[in-house]
Amino acid sequence: MFYREAGQFKTSYLADQAIFPIRQDRIGLALILLVAFVVLPLTASGFFLSVVMVPLLIFSLAAIGLNILTGYTGLLSLGTGGFMGVGAFACYKLTSIFPDVNIVVWLLVSGLFASGVGILFGLPSLRIKGFYLAVATLSAQFFLDWAFVRLPWLVNYNVSGAIEVPTRTLFGIPVTGPNATPQVRYLVILCIVTLLTWFASNLVHGRIGRSWMAVRDMDLAAELMGIRLYRTKLLAFAVSSYFCGVAGALMVFLWYGSAEPGVFGIDQSFFILFMVIIGGLGSLIGSFFGAALIYGLPIILRGFVNGIGLEIAPATVEHLTFMTVGGLIVFFLIIEPAGLARLWQIAKQKLRVWPFPY
Amino acid sequence: MRLRTSVLAGALVAATVGVSALPAAAQDSIYVPLFTYRTGPFSGSGIFIAEGMHDYLEMLNQRDGGIGGVKLVIEECETGYDTKKGLECYEAVKDKKPVMVNPWSTGITLPLIPRAAVDKIPVLSMAYGLSAAAIGDTFPWVFNPPATYWDGLSMILSYIGDKEGGLDKLKGKTIGYIYLDAGFGKEPIPLFEQFAKDYGFTLKLYPVAATEMQNQSSQWLNVRRDRPNYMVLYGWGALNPTAIKEAVKINYPMDKFVSIWWPSEDDAKSAGDGAKGFKELNWHAVGANFPAIQDIKKHVTDKNLTQTDKNHLGQVLYNRGVYNSMLIAEAIRNAQKITGKKVVTGEDVRRGLETLDVDKARLKEIGLEGFTDAVKLTCADHNGHFPAFMQEWDGTKWVKASEPIKPDMAKVGPLLSAAAKEYVEKNTGWPKRTEACDKAS
């Protein structure tokens, strides 16, 4: 009834090819952005911003990165945690060597280092695919993990082997370090994530995205049609690792504030991979859904159990959360194996003809 | 159907957000959050600690009605030894005016160190975390009594030296170091290397990655090849039992295998009879024959006010939790004494910790006579560098195996100051200490 495109006429090809061809979608997006940029920073508590929103956005960004590689190009990767680590360590080195350059610049530049490493470890993808490629990227994960622990230069010879984030400011307001308020950190992350999501959306809807999808659907056919495989695949690795690298740098600088190398272990890679699978392979909005389900749901469940005033020991709550989230993942995958993004699409489709489906 | 679900989900989110913003602690109570891990790969150690910490404070609530007549609100937050969840816990408790936090993980302690001064919440990282935090002039909000990992290493080496008949006898010997390859295990290496140079022994490193804690066969294969005269262990969680088991398997002489203060009874027990003679440092007694612990039994465990397994009372890590809570309680009491207030804040407790002085008489008063040595902290020294003793596993329990050993402050002191200085240099804009120093009361 409300969500219906009747009466919206497209008079140009450009309008017809828009990413959001329906007006209601555009209004919805504008509303979401308004809430995210204005309402939340003004009204939400510091706890909500720094515990729920900040991690959610960072994980979404990493999931978008992996989605570009796994969802759009069909290259299974288990190196996400390592690439995130490269971004974080690069950012740390850059800001300690050039402390006067603005931290936001370094956050964005550090992704390029991850990109380079990603290309290097993407080389095997030219010859192997599927599970075999997953094993090859697993080696990237293990190698990078090893390097973070073993190369003291990366942490400026800190005895505890951890990154400690110094205070950096933007327009005189602290962005990193203990004095940065949750609101500032949230807004910086939100700007970066919005910018990069917009960038990713343009990429995947354009020529490059189409060539990625052609490679995913059948690389032999894509090659015959004139798509150069090695370029396309390496570009996917580069872009994907860039996103993961920026996410890693954001995670350490604007969320943790300090990180041991263990943060970028294989667990992190699986965590992001699950987000992508649950959210929906080959969907940007799915990356956000996946992050919300895998990261956000346990927090909400914990808060809910505590909120209704039940006297349950925290360890029991933890176990319950594990079981509930696990059950929900199975449930969602059974009702829609293609992920939450597909569910969302179906819901929109149904809504379009609601309340008269015939 | 979809619409309803999403509305429901939205309401759920809204409800949670609303709820979490509510302050939990009432006005006339002291809020003490405990970061614990009864789940996850480190729960084998974490459960004992959680139980000990919780039960002692609960006992004070039951027996004395809190501290100085003010009830303690004890709230556990499950971290699973995961930095992510630890930070989540910190954010969750931050607004409820906690008087201090005990992160119980080096990974969680590090990000909290710079925040402590900003949020006015002292961090008590008891014998873990950043060793340099012992320098109170640099880290006024962080406390790590009673000894640092560097102190521990120097005590282990002087113990080894004693056994060999003098530290100079170490010349030409080989000492192996098996450790968790993370901040905690890596921290002592610079000091170890310096000792190796000074005393002329060879140091062999056997790092164990956190993901490989239960698979140490390659490290122990190397140990068998290198045949170090002594082995030093810095482990936590599943690393400890695995290391002891592997050592037994390769027939490593157990009396030459010395650990820092973390292995528990279960860790040693799981290796069977072969573990007899295994040694670790400790600074407090084991066993439940102390009035305070009997009070825990009477007021807490016998009344089923806790999840604690009754057999855990008196085990080494349980008692360590009790020790930790004793520090918390004494700091709060001290803060009440200094400020004259009943309901103290984080700032007051910071002062209370800084002037903490638990002497023998006080220990007797709180029912822990002979449990541990006196603890006294100052503004400059947030650690104390107290002596610890060696205890030996006799197959069923830990028995004291040495007199208290003093840390070698001539070696550790300069390293600590250098580390603190370096920390400040790296963190440009590290605040200068502005907190006034109280006279010990």
Q: How does DSSP assign B359-394, residue by residue? A: -HHHHHHTT-TTTB--EE--SSBSS----BEEEEE-
**Would you call A347 and B88 a contact, using CB atoms and an 8 Å cutoff?**
no
Cα–Cα distance list, B273 to B278, B395, B396 (Å): 11, 6, 9
**Would you call A315 and B38 a contact, using CB atoms and an 8 Å cutoff?**
yes
Whole-number Å distance between alpha carbons of B347 and B338: 12
Nearest CA in chain B to A313: B76
Residue A209's pLDDT is what?
Answer: 94
Residue A201's pLDDT is what?
Answer: 94
| Of B78, B87, B118, Cβ closest to residue A317 | B78
Domain ranges of chain A: 48-353
Nearest CA in chain B to A99: B428
Q: Give the rounded distance of the alpha carbon of A121 from its chain centre.
A: 20
Whole-number Å distance between alpha carbons of A326 and A314: 18
Looking at domain B149-282+388-409, does it have CATH number 3.40.50.2300?
yes
Nearest CA in chain B to A155: B426
- Bridge partners (DSSP) of residue B234 are B179
Domains B26-147+286-386 and B149-282+388-409 share a fold: yes
Alpha-carbon radius of gyration of chain A: 21
Residue A152's pLDDT is what?
Answer: 82
The Cα of A74 is separated from the nearest Cα of chain B by a number of Å equal to 29
Cα–Cα distance list, B353 to A205, B237, B402 (Å): 60, 28, 29
- Bridge partners (DSSP) of residue B205 are B177
Q: Which of residues 233-272 of B touch A (CB under 8 A)?
A: none
The Cα of B111 is separated from the nearest Cα of chain A by a number of Å equal to 5
Residue A24's pLDDT is what?
Answer: 84
Residue B72's pLDDT is what?
Answer: 92
Judge whether B406 is closer than 8 Å to chain A, CB to CB: no
| Of A51, A160, A255, Cβ closest to residue B186 | A160
Q: Which residue has the tokens 């590290």?
A: B430
Give the type of residue at A232.
Answer: T
Whole-number Å distance between alpha carbons of A145 and A153: 14
Report the mean per-residue pLDDT for chain B.
87
Residue B256 DSSP code: G
- Bridge partners (DSSP) of residue A179 are none
Q: Which residue has the tokens 């990227």?
A: A137
The Cα of B337 is separated from the nearest Cα of chain A by a number of Å equal to 31
What number of residues does chain A have? 358
Cis peptide bond N-terminal to B122, omega within 30: no
pLDDT < 50 regions, chain A: none
Q: Which of residues 82-121 of B touch A (CB under 8 A)?
A: 83-84, 87-88, 91-92, 94-95, 106-107, 110-111, 113-115, 117-119
CB pairs < 8 Å spanning A and B: 144
Residues of B in Cβ contact (< 8 Å) with A48: 17, 20-21
3-state SS assignment for residue A357: coil
Write the CB contacts of B14 (distance below 8 Å, at least 6 apart in sequence).
Answer: none
What is A153-210 written as a DSSP string?
Answer: GGGTT-TT--EEPPP-EETTEE-SSTT--HHHHHHHHHHHHHHHHHHHHHHHHSHHHH
Whole-number Å distance between alpha carbons of B49 and B47: 5
The Cα of B77 is separated from the nearest Cα of chain A by a number of Å equal to 6
pTM for the model: 0.85
Under 8 Å between Cβ of B186 and A160: yes
Residue A354's pLDDT is what?
Answer: 79
Residues of A in Cβ contact (< 8 Å) with B117: 178
**Would you call B92 and A300 a contact, using CB atoms and an 8 Å cutoff?**
no
Whole-number Å distance between alpha carbons of A233 and A239: 10
Judge whether B212 is closer than 8 Å to chain A, CB to CB: no
- Bridge partners (DSSP) of residue B123 are B101, B142
Nearest CA in chain B to A174: B429
Judge whether B16 is closer than 8 Å to chain A, CB to CB: yes
CB atoms within 10 A of CB A339: 26
Write the CB contacts of B430 (distance below 8 Å, at least 6 apart in sequence).
Answer: B114, B138, B423, B424
| Of B13, B84, B423, Cβ closest to residue A300 | B13
CB atoms within 10 A of CB A28: 13
Judge whether B433 is closer than 8 Å to chain A, CB to CB: no
The Cα of B259 is separated from the nearest Cα of chain A by a number of Å equal to 19
Residue B14's pLDDT is what?
Answer: 46
Residues of A in Cβ contact (< 8 Å) with B84: 55
Judge whether A99 is closer than 8 Å to chain B, CB to CB: yes
Residue B319's pLDDT is what?
Answer: 93
Residue B26's pLDDT is what?
Answer: 47
What is the CATH code of the structural domain delimited by A48-353? Answer: 1.10.3470
Residues of A in Cβ contact (< 8 Å) with B210: 262, 265
The Cα of A350 is separated from the nearest Cα of chain B by a number of Å equal to 9
Take residue B348 and report the two structure tokens written for it: 């007051």
Residue B248's pLDDT is what?
Answer: 92
Q: Give the rounded distance of the alpha carbon of B202 from its chain centre.
A: 29
| Of A52, A257, A318, Cβ closest to residue B78 | A318
Sign of the torsion angle spanned by Cα atoms A232, A235, A239, A245 = positive
Nearest CA in chain A to B427: A166
Looking at domain B26-147+286-386, does it have CATH number 3.50.50.60?
no
Under 8 Å between Cβ of A333 and A279: no
pLDDT block averages, 10 residues each, chain B of length 441: 47 45 58 91 88 93 90 90 87 89 89 88 90 89 91 92 88 92 84 91 90 88 92 90 92 92 90 90 90 92 86 90 93 92 91 90 91 90 91 90 89 89 82 80 49
**Would you call B428 and A167 a contact, using CB atoms and an 8 Å cutoff?**
yes
Domain ranges of chain B: 26-147+286-386, 149-282+388-409
Cα–Cα distance list, A348 to A3, A342, A356, B22, B85 (Å): 8, 10, 14, 36, 35
Write the CB contacts of A165 (distance below 8 Å, at least 6 apart in sequence).
Answer: A92, A176, A177, A252, A253, A256, A257, A258
**Would you call A164 and B186 a contact, using CB atoms and an 8 Å cutoff?**
no
* Alpha helices for chain A (secondary structure H): 13-16, 23-34, 40-43, 46-47, 54-66, 80-97, 103-122, 131-150, 182-205, 207-217, 219-224, 229-250, 266-279, 284-291, 297-307, 314-335, 340-353
The Cα of B394 is separated from the nearest Cα of chain A by a number of Å equal to 33
| Of B94, B110, B211, Cβ closest to residue A160 | B110
Residue B318's pLDDT is what?
Answer: 92
3-state SS assignment for residue A291: helix
Judge whether A98 is closer than 8 Å to chain B, CB to CB: no
Cα–Cα distance list, A323 to A138, A308, A339, B360 (Å): 28, 19, 20, 49
**Would you call B106 and A260 a contact, using CB atoms and an 8 Å cutoff?**
yes
Phi and psi of B381, rounded to 5°?
Answer: -115, 105
Give the type of residue at B352.
Answer: G
CB atoms within 10 A of CB B172: 10
The Cα of A179 is separated from the nearest Cα of chain B by a number of Å equal to 7
Q: What is the pLDDT of residues B285-315, one digit of tens each?
A: 898 899 999 999 999 989 888 888 888 888 9
Q: With b meaning 16 or more CB within 10 Å and e meaning fewer, what string describes A97-128?
A: eeeeeebeebbbbbbbbbbebbeebbebbeee
Q: What percent of chain B has pLDDT over 90?
A: 44
Give the type of residue at B333.
Answer: R
Judge whether A298 is closer than 8 Å to chain B, CB to CB: no
Judge whether B426 is closer than 8 Å to chain A, CB to CB: yes
Whole-number Å distance between alpha carbons of B219 and B206: 6
Judge whether A158 is closer than 8 Å to chain B, CB to CB: yes
Take residue B189 and report the two structure tokens written for it: 């290496």
Closest C-alpha to B348, from B135, B121, B69: B121
Residues of A in Cβ contact (< 8 Å) with B119: 178
Residue B405 DSSP code: B
Q: Using DSSP bridges, classify how beta strands B174-180 and B202-208 pair: parallel, antiparallel or unpaired.
A: parallel
| Of A158, A257, A343, Cβ closest to residue B114 | A257
Judge whether B419 is closer than 8 Å to chain A, CB to CB: yes
Q: Which of residues 241-260 of A touch B (CB under 8 A)?
A: 255-260
Residue A329's pLDDT is what?
Answer: 82
Residue B10's pLDDT is what?
Answer: 47
Residue A258's pLDDT is what?
Answer: 83
**Would you call A178 and B38 a contact, using CB atoms and an 8 Å cutoff?**
no
Residue A307's pLDDT is what?
Answer: 74
